[in-house]
Amino acid sequence: MLIQFTNRGIYCPQADVYIDPWKPVSKAIITHAHSDHARIGNSSYLSHTDSESILRYRLGEISLQTLPYNETVVMNGVRISLHPAGHVIGSAQVRLEYQGEVWVISGDYKVKKDGLTIPFEPLKCQHFVTESTFGLPIYNFPESDELKIRLNDWVKENAERGLNSVIIGYALGKAQRILNALETDLPILLHSTIYNTNAALGFDNSRYIKFTQEFKKEQLNPGVVVATGTAVGSPWLKRFEPYRLAFCSGWMQLRGARRRRNADKGFVMSDHADWKGLNEAVEATGAENVYVTHGYKSVFAAWLRERYKINAVEVETLFEGEGVENESPEPEAPQQ
Ligand SMILES: [Zn+2]
Ligand SMILES: [Zn+2]
């Protein structure tokens, strides 16, 4: 087998390289910069070109080689290339080919277009490793145009009542999508983690206010605040009162998830594939062997065996699903 699932991570012995390892290794290919996929301590890294600055921002001094999409590197005879995963900026599926055996490790992905990330590219392979974060039929996400309307209506409604709109989403991916969707003349203030992540991504910050200790309430009055999950329930949020609080996450499809977080509003916005997207992605690969990782592994694997008669198995990894409160640890803690 070209790929093995080991206790350090997904491993290709022939090329002696790991994909998104969770323990330090000598050579790591990183699908994207979220903290459950890109960890510190590896001797060398390979990632997509667009992940370079965000990886350096998050991981510090690393030895990093980058590759554009669809270009091949050869490691001990194994042809390796990166392809758009549509998850967040710079996210890649990893394709490995050796003596006619083709594997695709998709990392995290979504099939729906978000207007920001290069769309997911379906790839033919015999072995496909897929996530299953939202691998239940109840997960059916709206298109980004629809989301945009709902988000802007909510902000407008709050402003008319003199309320600030506080929108929660993680710093890499979600925050940029929220900002991209906002169509308002109101002032928009960013949590410093988001501001700094934007800067690392080359996302234009010129229109936004960066939160600092000098912040004065009158700067909004009313306005929009975009913050990460770490801000929720913290004294930091109090200074934006009166406000309404919204979460942007695939989990917002569940009423219980909104209630538990005391959210006034939940926007179903995800960087992962919904049920339909997962099915589409698996079908498009034509793979006879599918390895299901983080999420509803057993349900989705059983479904794939039954529905498509393919050899689908669950694989244990340390990847996490989409967190709203278990936000990626950032080098900078929120300022209180
Ligand atoms: Zn991710
Ligand atoms: Zn993940």
Helix ranges (DSSP H) in 261-296: 275-285
Residues with Cβ within 8 Å of 260's Cβ and at least 6 positions away in sequence, in order, are: none
Element (H, E) at 120: none
The per-residue pLDDT for 40 is: 96
Please tell me the distance between residue 275's alpha carbon and the centre of ligand 1 in angstroms.
Answer: 17
Give the number of the ligand closest to the Cα of residue 36: 2
Give the number of the ligand closest to the Cα of residue 20: 2
The CA angle 140-141-146, to the nearest 5 degrees, is 135
Give the number of the ligand closest to the Cα of residue 34: 1
Q: What is the pTM of this model?
A: 0.93
Helix ranges (DSSP H) in the chain: 52-59, 144-160, 174-181, 192-201, 235-238, 255-260, 275-285, 297-308
Please tell me the distance between residue 220's alpha carbon and the centre of ligand 1 in angstroms.
Answer: 32
Q: pLDDT-based confidence at 233, cuts 50/70/90?
A: confident
Element (H, E) at 133: none
136-184 pLDDT, tens digit each: 999 999 999 999 999 999 999 999 999 999 999 999 999 999 999 999 9
The CA angle 128-272-118, to the nearest 5 degrees, is 85
Provide the angle, in degrees to the nearest 10, between the axes of the packed helices 144-160 and 174-181.
70
Please tell me the distance between residue 321's alpha carbon and the centre of ligand 2 in angstroms.
Answer: 5
The per-residue pLDDT for 323 is: 63
Please tell me the distance between residue 209's alpha carbon and the centre of ligand 1 in angstroms.
Answer: 27
Helices (H) then strands (E): counts for the chain: 8, 19
Of 29-43, 104-118, 257-271, which range is least confident? Answer: 257-271
Please tell me the distance between residue 37's alpha carbon and the centre of ligand 2 in angstroms.
Answer: 6
37, 47 contact by CB (below 8 A): no
pLDDT of 329 strictly over 50: no
The per-residue b/e assignment along 201-225, b for 16 or more CB within 10 angstroms, e otherwise, is bebebeebbebeeeeeeeebebbbb
Please tell me the distance between residue 16's alpha carbon and the centre of ligand 2 in angstroms.
Answer: 23
Mean pLDDT (the chain) is: 93
DSSP letter for each residue of 8-66: SSEEETTTTEEES-SS--SEEE-S--STTTS-S--SEEEEEGGGHHHHHHHH-S--EEE
- What whole-number percentage of the chain has pLDDT above 70? 96
Domains of the chain listed by start with CATH number? 4-139+272-314 (3.60.15.10), 144-267 (3.40.50)
Give the pLDDT mean for 92-98.
98
Please tell me the distance between residue 322's alpha carbon and the centre of ligand 2 in angstroms.
Answer: 7
Please tell me the distance between residue 286's alpha carbon and the centre of ligand 2 in angstroms.
Answer: 23
Q: What's the residue count for the chain?
A: 336
Give the number of the ligand closest to the Cα of residue 87: 1
Give the pLDDT mean for 34-38.
94
247/199 Cα distance (integer angstroms):
23
Q: Which residues surround ligand 2, an ion (CB under 5 A)?
A: 36, 108, 319
* Residue at 12: amino acid letter: C
Residues with Cβ within 8 Å of 12's Cβ and at least 6 positions away in sequence, in order, are: 2, 3, 4, 18, 19, 75, 78, 96, 103
pLDDT of 256 strictly over 90: no
